[in-house]
Protein backbone atom coordinates (compact mmCIF):
# COMPACT_ATOMS: atom_id res chain seq x y z
CA UNK A 1 0.00 0.00 0.00
CA UNK A 2 1.34 3.43 -0.94
CA UNK A 3 0.19 6.22 1.37
CA UNK A 4 0.81 9.90 0.79
CA UNK A 5 0.36 11.78 4.07
CA UNK A 6 -0.17 15.51 4.27
CA UNK A 7 -0.08 16.79 7.87
CA UNK A 8 -2.43 19.76 8.23
CA UNK A 9 -1.93 22.84 10.45
CA UNK A 10 -3.82 21.31 13.40
CA UNK A 11 -1.51 18.85 15.19
CA UNK A 12 -2.44 15.25 14.42
CA UNK A 13 -4.92 15.99 11.62
CA UNK A 14 -3.72 14.32 8.42
CA UNK A 15 -4.97 14.27 4.82
CA UNK A 16 -4.28 10.85 3.30
CA UNK A 17 -4.13 9.75 -0.30
CA UNK A 18 -3.86 6.06 -1.14
CA UNK A 19 -2.42 4.98 -4.47
CA UNK A 20 -5.05 3.94 -6.98
CA UNK A 21 -4.45 1.32 -9.63
CA UNK A 22 -6.39 1.88 -12.84
CA UNK A 23 -7.21 -0.44 -15.70
CA UNK A 24 -10.06 -0.66 -18.24
CA UNK A 25 -12.40 -2.00 -15.53
CA UNK A 26 -11.91 1.02 -13.24
CA UNK A 27 -9.78 1.54 -10.16
CA UNK A 28 -8.61 -0.28 -7.04
CA UNK A 29 -7.16 1.17 -3.83
CA UNK A 30 -6.27 -0.16 -0.42
CA UNK A 31 -7.92 2.41 1.82
CA UNK A 32 -6.88 0.99 5.18
CA UNK A 33 -4.12 -1.42 6.22
CA UNK A 34 -3.49 -1.20 9.96
CA UNK A 35 0.26 -1.86 9.76
CA UNK A 36 0.79 0.73 7.02
CA UNK A 37 -1.13 3.36 8.97
CA UNK A 38 0.91 2.53 12.10
CA UNK A 39 4.17 2.89 10.15
CA UNK A 40 2.88 6.31 9.10
CA UNK A 41 2.21 7.33 12.72
CA UNK A 42 -1.53 6.62 12.92
CA UNK A 43 -2.04 4.09 15.71
CA UNK A 44 -5.82 4.15 16.24
CA UNK A 45 -7.47 0.79 16.74
CA UNK A 46 -10.70 1.25 14.81
CA UNK A 47 -13.67 -0.63 16.28
CA UNK A 48 -16.74 0.69 14.42
CA UNK A 49 -17.54 1.70 10.84
CA UNK A 50 -20.22 4.30 10.09
CA UNK A 51 -21.86 5.41 6.88
CA UNK A 52 -24.12 8.38 6.17
CA UNK A 53 -26.05 9.36 3.08
CA UNK A 54 -27.31 12.87 2.35
CA UNK A 55 -29.81 13.46 -0.44
CA UNK A 56 -29.37 17.24 -0.78
CA UNK A 57 -26.36 19.43 -1.39
CA UNK A 58 -25.97 21.81 1.55
CA UNK A 59 -26.64 19.20 4.21
CA UNK A 60 -24.59 20.03 7.31
CA UNK A 61 -23.77 17.34 9.86
CA UNK A 62 -21.86 18.40 12.94
CA UNK A 63 -19.81 19.61 14.58
CA UNK A 64 -19.78 16.42 16.69
CA UNK A 65 -17.48 14.73 19.20
CA UNK A 66 -17.64 12.30 22.10
CA UNK A 67 -16.25 12.97 25.56
CA UNK A 68 -14.05 10.58 27.58
CA UNK A 69 -14.04 7.72 28.06
CA UNK A 70 -15.69 7.36 24.62
CA UNK A 71 -13.71 10.03 22.73
CA UNK A 72 -13.14 9.05 19.11
CA UNK A 73 -10.50 9.33 16.44
CA UNK A 74 -12.03 9.14 12.95
CA UNK A 75 -10.86 8.17 9.48
CA UNK A 76 -13.27 9.83 7.03
CA UNK A 77 -13.72 9.27 3.30
CA UNK A 78 -16.36 9.96 0.68
CA UNK A 79 -17.83 7.00 -1.19
CA UNK A 80 -20.03 9.11 -3.48
CA UNK A 81 -20.13 12.86 -4.01
CA UNK A 82 -18.12 15.63 -2.38
CA UNK A 83 -17.97 17.37 1.01
CA UNK A 84 -16.40 20.31 2.77
CA UNK A 85 -15.02 18.59 5.88
CA UNK A 86 -14.24 20.57 9.05
CA UNK A 87 -12.35 19.74 12.24
CA UNK A 88 -12.07 21.98 15.32
CA UNK A 89 -9.37 21.57 17.97
CA UNK A 90 -11.00 21.15 21.41
CA UNK A 91 -7.78 20.40 23.32
CA UNK A 92 -7.48 23.30 25.78
CA UNK A 93 -3.72 22.82 26.21
CA UNK A 94 -3.13 22.94 22.45
CA UNK A 95 -1.66 26.01 20.75
CA UNK A 96 -4.46 25.64 18.18
CA UNK A 97 -7.37 25.33 20.65
CA UNK A 98 -10.53 26.69 19.03
CA UNK A 99 -8.97 26.76 15.57
CA UNK A 100 -10.41 24.85 12.65
CA UNK A 101 -9.40 23.55 9.27
CA UNK A 102 -11.66 22.77 6.33
CA UNK A 103 -10.78 20.53 3.40
CA UNK A 104 -12.64 19.21 0.41
CA UNK A 105 -12.96 15.44 0.17
CA UNK A 106 -14.48 13.68 -2.82
CA UNK A 107 -15.13 10.20 -4.10
CA UNK A 108 -13.27 11.09 -7.31
CA UNK A 109 -10.22 12.31 -5.38
CA UNK A 110 -10.20 9.38 -2.97
CA UNK A 111 -8.80 11.45 -0.10
CA UNK A 112 -9.24 10.46 3.52
CA UNK A 113 -9.02 12.64 6.60
CA UNK A 114 -7.64 11.37 9.88
CA UNK A 115 -9.20 13.24 12.81
CA UNK A 116 -7.54 12.50 16.19
CA UNK A 117 -9.30 12.41 19.54
CA UNK A 118 -9.99 15.83 21.00
CA UNK A 119 -11.48 17.38 17.86
CA UNK A 120 -15.03 18.20 16.81
CA UNK A 121 -15.88 17.03 13.30
CA UNK A 122 -18.54 17.98 10.77
CA UNK A 123 -19.16 18.41 7.08
CA UNK A 124 -21.31 20.06 4.45
CA UNK A 125 -22.31 18.15 1.33
CA UNK A 126 -21.34 19.95 -1.87
CA UNK A 127 -23.38 17.82 -4.26
CA UNK A 128 -26.57 15.77 -4.11
CA UNK A 129 -26.53 12.10 -3.11
CA UNK A 130 -23.34 12.21 -1.09
CA UNK A 131 -22.28 9.17 0.91
CA UNK A 132 -19.66 9.25 3.67
CA UNK A 133 -17.86 6.34 5.31
CA UNK A 134 -15.81 6.66 8.47
CA UNK A 135 -14.03 4.45 10.94
CA UNK A 136 -13.93 5.31 14.65
CA UNK A 137 -11.78 3.97 17.47
CA UNK A 138 -14.53 4.00 20.12
CA UNK A 139 -18.14 2.88 19.83
CA UNK A 140 -20.96 5.40 19.76
CA UNK A 141 -22.26 6.39 23.18
CA UNK A 142 -25.33 8.65 23.29
CA UNK A 143 -24.48 9.63 26.87
CA UNK A 144 -21.06 10.92 25.73
CA UNK A 145 -22.19 12.54 22.47
CA UNK A 146 -21.60 16.31 22.29
CA UNK A 147 -21.22 19.04 19.70
CA UNK A 148 -20.36 22.62 18.87
CA UNK A 149 -22.66 24.92 16.88
CA UNK A 150 -21.65 25.02 13.23
CA UNK A 151 -22.08 28.82 13.02
CA UNK A 152 -20.25 29.76 16.22
CA UNK A 153 -18.73 33.17 15.29
CA UNK A 154 -15.66 32.45 17.42
CA UNK A 155 -14.78 29.56 15.08
CA UNK A 156 -15.11 31.71 11.95
CA UNK A 157 -15.81 28.77 9.64
CA UNK A 158 -16.60 29.86 6.08
CA UNK A 159 -19.14 27.20 5.11
CA UNK A 160 -19.81 26.83 1.37
CA UNK A 161 -23.57 27.24 1.81
CA UNK A 162 -25.89 30.14 2.53
CA UNK A 163 -27.05 29.81 6.12
CA UNK A 164 -30.71 29.97 5.11
CA UNK A 165 -30.28 27.05 2.67
CA UNK A 166 -28.39 24.68 4.98
CA UNK A 167 -30.16 21.48 6.00
CA UNK A 168 -29.48 20.45 9.61
CA UNK A 169 -30.98 18.18 12.20
CA UNK A 170 -32.79 19.84 15.09
CA UNK A 171 -30.04 18.54 17.38
CA UNK A 172 -27.34 20.28 15.33
CA UNK A 173 -29.31 23.55 15.23
CA UNK A 174 -29.27 23.74 19.02
CA UNK A 175 -25.66 22.79 19.80
CA UNK A 176 -23.79 25.20 22.10
CA UNK A 177 -21.02 27.61 21.16
CA UNK A 178 -17.43 26.69 21.96
CA UNK A 179 -17.53 29.01 24.98
CA UNK A 180 -20.38 26.94 26.44
CA UNK A 181 -18.44 23.65 26.45
CA UNK A 182 -16.93 22.04 29.50
CA UNK A 183 -13.22 21.20 29.38
CA UNK A 184 -13.14 17.57 28.22
CA UNK A 185 -9.74 17.50 26.48
CA UNK A 186 -6.38 18.71 27.76
Q: Which residues are known to be catalytic?
A: 64, 134
Distance of CA 67 to the CA centre of its chain: 16
Compute the distance between CA of residue 55 and CA of residue 45 in angstroms, rounded to an integer.
Answer: 31
Distances (CA, A) of 129 to 48, 55, 104, 161: 23, 4, 16, 16
- Give the pairing of strands 82-89 and 111-115: unpaired
**81: which residues sit within 8 A by CB, 6+ positions away?**
54, 106, 107, 125, 126, 127, 128, 129, 130, 131
Kindly state the DSSP code that residue 39 receives in the 8-state scheme. Answer: H
Amino acid sequence: MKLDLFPLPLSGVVLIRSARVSDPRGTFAETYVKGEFARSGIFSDFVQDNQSFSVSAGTVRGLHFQIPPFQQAKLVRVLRGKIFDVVVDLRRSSATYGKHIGVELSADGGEQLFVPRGFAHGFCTLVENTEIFYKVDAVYSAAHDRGVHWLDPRLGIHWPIETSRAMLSEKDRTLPALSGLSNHFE
